[in-house]
Structures are given as structure tokens and as C-alpha cells.
Amino acid sequence: MHKWRFCRTGGLDQVVFRNGADIANLVELDQKLWTALSCPTRGVRLDAKTLELLDTDKDGRIRVPELLAAVKWLSARLVSLDTLMEGVETLRLDAISSTTVEGKLLLASAKRILANLGKDSADAISLADVSDTAKIFAGTRFNGDGIVPVDAAEDEATQKVLAEIIDAFGAETDRSGKPGVNQAKTEAFFAAAAAYLDWSKRVDSAVLPLGDQTAAAAAALAKVRVKIDDYFTRCRLSAFDSRAVAPLSRTDADFAAFAPQDLSDDLPELAALPLSQISAGRDLPLLEGSNPYWAEALACFQSTTVAPLLGADCTALSYGQWQELKGKLAPFETWIAAKAGTEVAALGEERLGALVAGNAKNAISALIAKDAALEAENAQIAEVDKLLRLNANLVKLLNNYVNMSRLYDPKDCAIFRVGTLYMDARASSLCFHVENIAAHSAQAGASKCCLVYCDLSRPGSQEKRTVCAAFTAGFASTLWVGRNGIFYDMEGKDWDAVIVKTVDNAISLKEAFWDPWRKIAAMISGQVNKMLSAKQDAALAGAAKKIEAPGAAAGDAPKKMEGAALASTAAALGIAVGLISTAIAGVVGAIAGLPVWKIALGLVAILLLVSGPSMLLTWFKLRARDVAPILNACGWAVNRRLRLSLKLGRIFTTEATLPADSERQMNDPYADDNRVRNRVIVIALLVLITAALWFAGLLDSVLPDQIKRHAASPGCRIKNEQAKANCASASMEPTIRIERTT
């Protein structure tokens, strides 16, 4: 039984891969202890070909059985899996097993690759050595792909045939990167040659009435066939009904349309007119009196087709002669339509006959067979490529799959993180690839993280993508839909980012502390605005009524308050001022006699009373943050909770700070001048505090009798002096009773 080591990270026990033995025994690890049970092949930063090799069923997901199969495959081909721990793209040859059949084949293939590259003495092979197959096979004639380039043949005759096949049917690319020929193209070439020779033999005097000139005669006829058929059909319709002559010859308006134009024989509009004048039973003139657009074609037709077949004196063609011409050339047209082997026709009958009768096909087929015989041997190159890719990338995947050590290592980066979003003087490095925002946000909201979905685009490019960024520090109130930022992917490319959706959740305790105060300020501001708005509306309404009153004059002055109205208004103002002063005096009086530490403690209690519940609730929410729902929304099957601690949150989202050795100039030349406002506020506060102290009577001991809050009468002063004397004789605090006399 293998002995495992676990470490406590992110609130859960995670297995630690110490050496190759841990990987080799991975099949024994209870899957309930795996952090993930599957991951997608898209949206992760791992070598795409490695992911393709691991995804054996090609379903776009890497599952536990596929990972275990890869480990088993490696165990049969490596001396020890310890080499995987290095995660490099170079593998020493002595690390490949020479005691297993699979290992021996891989070792032989690796040595052959190095030999082809001129590295016979090398003791290690790298992924770069295997990736460029063209370079591997550049100096070899045969490489097992069933394709032979021209220079694979040793004799010039076979090389010439290979070049002719490529010219006729195109090339297949050999592993060496050169153009070549496979068996399918060879068969097609020689089949086309045989078909062309067979077709060319089916010819006689009926097919070629003019011998070698028959093709030219048929081409000249084909060029005017449609227009001549059109002409004789119009003439026959005119013979059927004389009323058809005028409309079939086009109207005066049709010809009038040409009058304003600059006419020439090649004007496209002329092509649609009949070849010649329409009349019942009329022959078609071939040299004179024809449509200028078709005059040249008709002249060529007369000299090339009509004259050789009907006589040189035939310059006008009757309907019967037209049918006779078509009949004489019909066998040629049928023969041409049945032409086969057109791809090789350019080589000519003599060359094709020599190729078909010779041994060229057998020679090329033998070369292809010799090349294909090495297929099994050279197919091991793909196995070497697989070995090197798994050697370089498997442990990286395991540390993002079986455990999540890459997520919790500040010096490393998990493969599902795709870049960094800069926005609102913050940088969020916990960003995920997203295919569907609606589907992703529906699941990711359970993470209790503040999520921002951004559409990304690159200037001058059609590239677009979508990411989800988790903000784990700062304030959420400054993130809104439509805000712009910049996203840097892991390759260093910059993207324009714009927020299209947010999932609002708690971000920090700092925000929780200030949130109640912001709400109180917003409430007060809202009430003040509401009151001022109501007063303004009432004033405007009153002014409107006065203006609209029928007896009101523009110069009427408002009436003065007199008598009882003036007295009641003054009394109301006095009561309001008195209530405010009493309230302030009560607060001042309550704290006036307290020590400073009690006053400070009271202020702290008030702060805790207002902000404490919000901070406590936010603290519980922050402790509940979990990355697992976000990954599940991305297509991962995360098996355990991935807690996002406050410390880790401050790592994933960093806020703007000045460099340690920076100099800061505090004097802002463009700051608003608030000195007058600040002085007014200070004076108002001093006046208010002084008034409160006076109203509470706390200044009576330092003020003259004339302005004391509680002025004493002469009788009262005598009684006070007697009371003080009695108290002094009794060595106790005097009890003063102030009686007001009138």
C-alpha cells in the first residue's frame, strides 16, 4: 500500500506529488480525495496537443480514466516516472526503458530521429527535435507515409513520370515536406492515360469530315449556333404568320434607343438583335447585311465551316443547309463530349502510349510499397512526440487536477487563469475563459465572489473573446456595466475590455465598514433633495397662481405680515431654535463632565453600532467564498470546495499603491480653493458649540453676570453665600439652591 503525503491548503487536505512513485500509484488514490474529476480541453493554458493526446474519446473533456491510462502508458515506457517531476521538454535516452517492448521501440525510434538530424552522439532528445518532421526526413528517401517525392526514384525516367503525375493530378506532401505521389494518384494517372488512348482510337472519317480542320470548323459553328437557330426560328414564325415579322424584327423604339449613343460594332446591346433582317423563307447572309456585332463571327464561320463543307461560293445559308452542316459535325461533337483522360491529354498519344506499354507504373508502385513498409517503424515518431509532451506537461496538469497547488501558490499560476484585467485602479488576475455568459453566471453566482464579465476585442483584428474576472479587493460600487478596461492575456497580448454583466457580492471588510455610512448619507441627501424640491415646486405653483389671478397686477407688491400673523411666525421660529439648541445642549451637557477616554469609547461604540453588523455579515460572506462554482461553470467537475481566503483575495486582486521610494508632492496646483468655505464652517461650528455651552449654563463661571445663562438676584446671591459658609463649616460639598426673584 502506497504511503501518501497530504498538506492543508485552502481549508482542505490535498495530496502532494513528491516523486514519480506518487504518480505511478495514482490509481490507488481514492477519487473522493481528488480535487477535480474532469476538466475541459478548451479555456485552459496547457499545450493543446497534449490535451488532445489525453482526450482519447475526443469528447472535449479529460476524465480520470484517461489520466490513469496516460500514467499507465508512461510506466511501460520509462525507467522511472521521476523524470516527469522536472516538467521539461527534453528527455535523456537512458530514461527510456530498454526492458519492455514498448520502451525498446520508442528508444530505437528516438535514436533514428537523432541520426536523421545528424545528432548520432546525442544522449537526449527534445520536443523540438520531433516537432519538425520535415527536418527529420529531409535526408531520407523513404519515411513510411506511402508518399514518394520525385527524388525518391534513382533513375531519370521514373523521376520524369513522377513529375508528370504531379503536373496532372497535383501533389501529396511527403513527411519531408517535398511534393510527392501516392498509390491513389499513380492509379488515377495510368487509368486516365489508358482511357484517353481508348477514346482517341474511336475516330473515323465520319467523326473527322475535315480531318485535322474538323475541330476548328466545329468551334466556329458552336460560336454562332444559338444566334443562327434564333434567326431561322424567327423566319419560320414569319412564314407561319406575317404579323410576326414586325415585332420579331424589333420596333422603331428599339432602334431609336441607339440614336443618342456612340455606336460601335462591339456594343453589347447589339448582340441581342437578330443576325439579319427577318423575312419568311429568307436565307441568312453570311458576309453582307448581317448584324455588325456578329459579322466577324459569321465570316469566320463561312470560311472555316461552310466553305469546306458546302463550297466556297456559299455566302448565304438556307435553313436546309444549316441543318446539313449540323448533321455533318454532330458525330465529332458527340465524340468530343465523350472524351476521357483529359488530365493527361497534354502529353499526347505517343507519350501516353509509351507510358501505358512500359514498366513505369510497376516501378513507381514498387517505390511506394517500399516506403509504406516503414510505416510501422516510423509511426513510432508520433509515440516519441507523445512521450515528450506528457513528460513536459503531465505533472502540471496533475497539480491543477488531482490537487490545486497551482491555485494556492502565489509564485505559480493555475492553468485555468487566462490573464489579468486592469480596471478601476485594480488588477484582477483571477480571470476565467467563458463561452456563454448567461449559463456561466447562473452557476458561478454560488461562489459568493464579486464577478465581472467582460467582452474582449483587439484593435485592428477580428479576434473576440469573453472572460469572467473575480474582484476580491476594493469596492464593488465602482464597477458597472459599460466600464472600460484593459486585459492582458498570458501571451502578453492586450485586449480592450468592457463590462457587460456583473454579479454583485461582498468584496472587502473596508467596503462593509463604509457601506452603512454611505447609505445614511444617501438617505439624508435624498430627504433634503426631496424637501427642497417640494419647496421649489410649491413656490413655483404659488407664483403661477398669482400671475394667473384675474385681479393681480404686475406691479403689486406682496403684503406685509402684521399683527397676529407676525407674532405666530416669530413664536414658531423661536420654538424651533429653542428645540435645536436644547438638543445640542443636551448632547454637550451629557459628555461635558465625562473623561476623554469615555468620550472616545462612546464614539467607538457608535461606529461599531453602525458599521459592526455590516462588517460581521460581510465577514461571514467572505469566508464562504468558493472558486469551485466558477470552475464548474467553466466545465470543470470540481470535487471539493476551493476556499478563497482574505489573504488569497488580496493576492488575486491588487490595488494601486505608490512605489516604496517615491516622492510625493502634496501641493496640488489645480485643487479648488476652499479656504473661505473652510473658515465659514469653522466659525459656524465655534459659534454653535459656544451657544450650546452657554445654553447649558457651562459658561456662567467665566462670563459676566449680565450675559450669564442663569443670572442670580441680590437675594439669591446672599442665600448662596450663606449656604457656602455652612457647607464650609461642615466640611462637605455645599448644596446650592437658586431661587429666582422677580
Are 365 and 381 in a shared domain? no
From 208-222, 355-369, 652-666, the region with the lowest mean pLDDT: 652-666
The structural domain count of the chain equals: 5
Cα separation, 305 vs 317, whole angstroms: 12
Same domain, 367 and 255: no
More reliable by pLDDT, 360 or 205 = 360
Q: For residue range 276-327, list pLDDT tens digits in order.
A: 889 998 999 988 888 899 999 999 999 999 999 999 889 999 999 999 999 9
Least confident residue range of 341-345, 507-511, 540-544, 672-676: 507-511
Q: Is 384 a residue whose pLDDT tops 70?
A: yes
pLDDT digits (tens, 9 = 90+) for 355-377: 999 899 999 999 999 888 877 76
| pLDDT tens figures, 44-93 | 999 999 999 999 999 999 999 999 999 999 999 999 999 999 999 999 99
Comparing 551 with 686, the larger pLDDT belongs to 686
Same structural domain for residues 485 and 434? yes
- Side chain identity at residue 147, one-letter code: I
pLDDT band at 585 (very low <50, low <70, confident <90, very high): low
pLDDT in tens, 30-42: 999 999 999 999 9
| Neighbouring C-alpha atoms within 13 Å toward the C-beta of 409 | 13
Residue 654 has pLDDT above 50, yes or no: yes
Does residue 180 lie within any of the structural domains?
A: yes
pLDDT of residue 564: 47
What pLDDT band is residue 714 in, cutting at 50, 70 and 90? Answer: low
**Mean pLDDT, residues 465-486:** 90
Centroid of chain to Cα 116? 41
Instruction: Tell whether 319 and 235 lie within a shared domain.
Output: yes
Do 497 and 630 reside in the same domain of the chain?
Answer: yes
Judged against a pLDDT cut of 60, whether residue 737 lies above it is answered with: no
pLDDT confidence tier of residue 693, bands split at 50, 70 and 90: confident
My answer on whether 95 and 63 are in the same domain is: yes
Residue 393 included in any domain: yes
pLDDT in tens, 167-204: 999 999 887 788 999 999 999 999 999 999 999 888 87
Quick one: angle between helices 183-201 and 348-357, nearest 10?
120
Q: What is the mean pLDDT of the chain?
A: 83
pLDDT of residue 715: 52
Q: Would you place residue 595 in the very low, low, confident or very high pLDDT band (cuts 50, 70, 90)?
A: low
pLDDT digits (tens, 9 = 90+) for 154-164: 889 999 999 99
pLDDT at 432: 94
Q: Are residues 332 and 351 in the same domain?
A: no
Residues 500 and 642 reside in one and the same domain? yes
Residue 731 is predicted with a pLDDT of: 45
* Residue 514 domain-assigned (yes or no): no
Cα 229 from Cα 474, distance rounded (Å): 86
* Residue 573 counted as domain residue: no
Other Cβ atoms within 10 Å of 486 Cβ, number: 14
664 lies in some domain: no
Q: Both 63 and 11 in a single domain?
A: yes
Q: Which residue, among 443, 440, 463, 472, has the nearest Cα to 453 in the 3D structure?
A: 440
Q: In this predicted structure, what is the pLDDT of residue 3? A: 93
- List the helix and strand counts (H, then E) for the chain: 26, 20
Select the more confidently predicted residue: 578 or 604.
Answer: 604
Same domain, 40 and 15: yes
**CB-based contacts of 517, cutoff 8 Å, min separation 6:** 610, 611
Q: What is the pLDDT of residues 94-142, one digit of tens each?
A: 999 999 999 998 998 899 888 888 888 999 999 988 887 667 776 677 7
Tell me, yes or no, whether 669 lies in a domain.
no
Residues facing 290 on adjacent strands = 276
The pLDDT tens digits for 539-548 are 788 777 777 7
Question: Stretch 377-400: mean pLDDT, rounded?
Answer: 89
- Whether residues 318 and 225 fall in one domain: yes
Q: How sure is the predictor about 444, in pLDDT bands with cuts at 50, 70 and 90?
A: very high
Residue 383 falls inside a structural domain: yes
State the pLDDT at residue 710: 67
Looking at per-residue confidence, does 623 or 17 come out higher?
17
Could you give the percent of the chain with pLDDT greater than 70? Answer: 86
Instruction: Give the structural domain span for 47.
Output: 6-138+376-398
Q: How far apart are CA 276 and CA 281, in angstroms?
A: 13
Q: What is the pTM of this model?
A: 0.61
Q: Which among 619, 374, 627, 665 has a CA at the least distance from the CA of 510?
A: 619
d(CA 302, CA 659): 94
The pLDDT tens digits for 2-25 are 999 999 887 788 999 999 999 999
pLDDT confidence tier of residue 426, bands split at 50, 70 and 90: very high
Lowest mean pLDDT among 141-150, 275-284, 531-540, 620-629: 531-540
Residue 10 φ/ψ, nearest 5 degrees: 65, 25
Percent of the chain with pLDDT over 90: 41
Distance of CA 671 to the CA centre of its chain: 42
- For residues 176 and 260, state if they share a domain: no
Q: List, in sequence order, the alpha helices (H) in 399-499.
A: 437-444
Of residues 183 and 674, more confidently modeled = 183
With a cut of 70, say whether residue 221 has pLDDT above it. Answer: yes
254 located within any domain = yes
The pLDDT value given to residue 200 = 87
